[in-house]
């Protein structure tokens, strides 16, 4: 019998039920964010408006057709497919090593689907940040085709108390259940590759790299004893999953690395957006408390928040603290790299931020292409101006600040030139 459960992305955060919200009140539920009460103006809101007259027809389509339609509408490349078999979702009863959950992503959207279940979507609203939806063929006709969900902030509001994305590495048993005491953790930029991807399939052409993916065990100790249990990067998926149920038969290592990178950067951008908006909203009350003139520019604690968040944004964008790659680099199947490069923005020297290195690091020029994303563009203008001003000065400085010290002078110069040629809306003092 088909079991349908509330949908939740592994990399997603959703709004809390009312009772839980009262006990675990978060600042994003208050003005100026008002997360649960506000109507999003994101990509899914536009999609629902465009597809309203076709909603019932789309619900009647086979799941694979609905999935491809959703990916096409959100401009998410199917080559980004990742497969996760750990039961780390509210659709846990459907997930197993033989029926993994597929994840797809772009710079602007994340889509999840497990065969037999609903489709999950995360996109980004200019004020709310990450917003979360489900496309379920059994939804009532009164619901939007892709309906905003209310289920998952209980697990996914832990990134600085911001609705956030998550990528977990756990120790799974043979059914995909997380073993007790497994020490599973969110993947961060500095997480060593040999500790990543527990509960995920990992395919590609990188022999010799050992990691937590592709393997299960009966006890957590198997993963921690000497020698610890580790999987390899397999050229193909194991025999367990029925690959005919999925658009592709891959869970590519390069896509996994990009997914890890993007989740971290998106979380930092969403937190910076929220914290700076809240600080600016509170400024009038602070100004009155300090008995300052009504036209006084924001200062004090507001500037502390702005500068603190700007520093975190810069460190995330510039890939600071990135984990070391194996001596022979990383090689995937190749399809994801081609799809990823298809939207590159080259400068006059044919250099682009989407150019991958994969020998010692992810990007050739270590400034995340998410600087082009709506998530960055939608940050309050005050914060965006501070980030770009510090970015320009740091890239051009003879003696780099700590946020830039990991970048050689030639790489800093190249990044500045690429951004000058390709990033719209640069401030007047850019390059000065």
For 98-146, the DSSP string reads TBPEEEEE-SS-EEEE-TTS-EEEEEEETTTEEEEEEE-TTS-TTS-SS
Judged by average pLDDT, the poorest of 13-17, 83-87, 319-323, 398-402 is: 13-17
Q: Work out the average pLDDT over 27-38.
A: 92
Judged by average pLDDT, the poorest of 273-282, 286-295, 382-391 is: 286-295
Supply the pTM of this predicted model.
0.92
Q: What is the pLDDT of residue 158?
A: 60
Q: What is the pLDDT of residue 3?
A: 36
Positive or negative CA dihedral for 5, 58, 36, 313? Answer: positive
Question: 94 vs 153, which has greater pLDDT?
Answer: 94
Q: What is the pLDDT of residue 97?
A: 96
Answer for the pair 247, 81: CB distance below 8 angstroms, yes or no. yes
Pairing assessment for the beta strands 168-169 and 147-148 based on DSSP bridges = unpaired
State both tokens at 217. 């065990």
Answer for the pair 107, 119: CB distance below 8 angstroms, yes or no. no
Confidence category of residue 183, pLDDT binned at 50, 70, 90:
low
Map tokens 């994801």 to a residue: 336
Confidence category of residue 156, pLDDT binned at 50, 70, 90:
low
pLDDT over 70 at 14, yes or no: no
pLDDT over 80 at 17, yes or no: no
Spatial separation of the C-alpha atoms in residues 360 and 357, rounded to whole Å = 7
Give the number of other Cβ atoms within 10 Å of residue 50's Cβ: 11
pLDDT over 90 at 309, yes or no: yes
What mean pLDDT, rounded, does the chain reach?
90
Q: What is the pLDDT of residue 335?
A: 97
Confidence category of residue 139, pLDDT binned at 50, 70, 90:
confident
pLDDT over 60 at 233, yes or no: yes
pLDDT over 80 at 159, yes or no: no
Q: What is the pLDDT of residue 171?
A: 95
pLDDT over 70 at 10, yes or no: no
Spacing of C-alpha 302 from chain mean position: 27
Strands of the 101-105 sheet, one edge to the other: 82-84, 101-105, 110-113, 119-125, 129-135, 147-148
Q: Work out the average pLDDT over 32-52.
A: 95
Confidence category of residue 142, pLDDT binned at 50, 70, 90:
confident
Confidence category of residue 154, pLDDT binned at 50, 70, 90:
low
Nearest one of 102, 384, 415 to 247, comparing CA atoms = 102
Q: pLDDT tens across 320-342, in order? A: 999 999 999 999 999 999 999 99
pLDDT over 60 at 11, yes or no: no
pLDDT over 90 at 120, yes or no: yes
Percent share of the chain, pLDDT over 70: 91
Q: What is the pLDDT of residue 58?
A: 96
> What are the structural domain ranges in the chain?
18-245, 253-422
Q: What is the pLDDT of residue 26?
A: 83
Spacing of C-alpha 363 from chain mean position: 17
Confidence category of residue 18, pLDDT binned at 50, 70, 90:
very low
Q: C-alpha angle with apex 343: 342 to 348, nearest 5 degrees? A: 100
Q: What is the pLDDT of residue 185?
A: 79
State both tokens at 373. 């994303």
Nearest one of 106, 143, 110, 160 to 8, comparing CA atoms = 110
pLDDT over 80 at 122, yes or no: yes
pLDDT over 80 at 182, yes or no: no
Question: 221 vs 16, which has greater pLDDT?
Answer: 221
């Amino acid at each position: 019998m088909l079991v349908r459960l509330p949908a939740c992305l592994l990399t997603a955060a959703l709004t809390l039920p009312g009772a839980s919200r009262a006990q675990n009140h978060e600042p994003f539920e208050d003005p100026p964010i008002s997360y649960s009460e506000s109507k999003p103006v994101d990509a899914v809101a536009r999609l629902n408006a465009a597809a309203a007259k076709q909603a019932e027809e789309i619900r009647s389509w086979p799941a694979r057709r609905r999935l491809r339609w959703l990916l096409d509408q959100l401009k998410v490349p199917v080559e980004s497919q990742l497969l996760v078999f750990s039961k780390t979702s509210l659709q846990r009863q459907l997930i197993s090593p033989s029926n993994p959950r597929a994840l797809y992503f772009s710079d602007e959207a994340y889509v999840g689907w497990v065969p037999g279940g609903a489709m999950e979507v995360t996109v980004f609203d200019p004020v709310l940040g990450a917003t979360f939806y489900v496309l379920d063929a059994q939804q009532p006709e009164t619901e939007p085709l892709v309906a905003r969900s209310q289920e998952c902030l209980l697990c996914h509001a832990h990134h600085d108390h911001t609705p956030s994305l998550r990528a977990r590495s756990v120790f799974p048993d043979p059914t995909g259940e997380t073993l007790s005491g497994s020490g599973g953790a969110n993947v961060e930029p500095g997480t060593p590759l040999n500790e990543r991807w527990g509960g995920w399939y990992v395919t590609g052409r990188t022999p010799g790299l050992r990691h937590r993916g592709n393997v299960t065990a009966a006890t957590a100790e198997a993963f921690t004893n000497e020698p610890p249990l580790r999987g390899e990067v397999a050229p193909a998926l194991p025999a367990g999953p029925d690959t005919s149920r999925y658009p592709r038969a891959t869970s590519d290592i390069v896509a996994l690395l990009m997914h890890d990178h993007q989740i971290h950067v998106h979380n930092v951008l969403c937190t910076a957006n929220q914290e700076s908006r809240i600080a600016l909203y509170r400024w009038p009350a602070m100004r009155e408390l300090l008995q300052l003139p009504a036209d006084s520019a924001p200062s004090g604690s507001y500037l502390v928040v702005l500068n603190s968040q700007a520093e975190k944004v810069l460190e995330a964008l510039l890939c600071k603290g990135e984990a070391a790659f194996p001596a022979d680099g990383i090689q995937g199947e190749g399809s994801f790299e081609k799809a990823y490069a298809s939207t590159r923005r080259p400068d006059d020297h044919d250099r682009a931020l989407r150019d991958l290195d994969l020998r010692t690091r992810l990007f050739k020029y270590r400034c995340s292409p998410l600087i082009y994303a709506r998530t960055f563009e939608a940050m309050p203008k005050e914060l965006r101006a501070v980030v770009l001003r510090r970015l320009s000065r740091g890239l051009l400085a003879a003696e780099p600040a700590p946020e830039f010290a990991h970048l050689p002078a030639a790489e800093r110069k190249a990044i500045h030139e690429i951004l000058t040629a390709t990033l719209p809306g640069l401030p007047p003092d850019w390059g000065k």
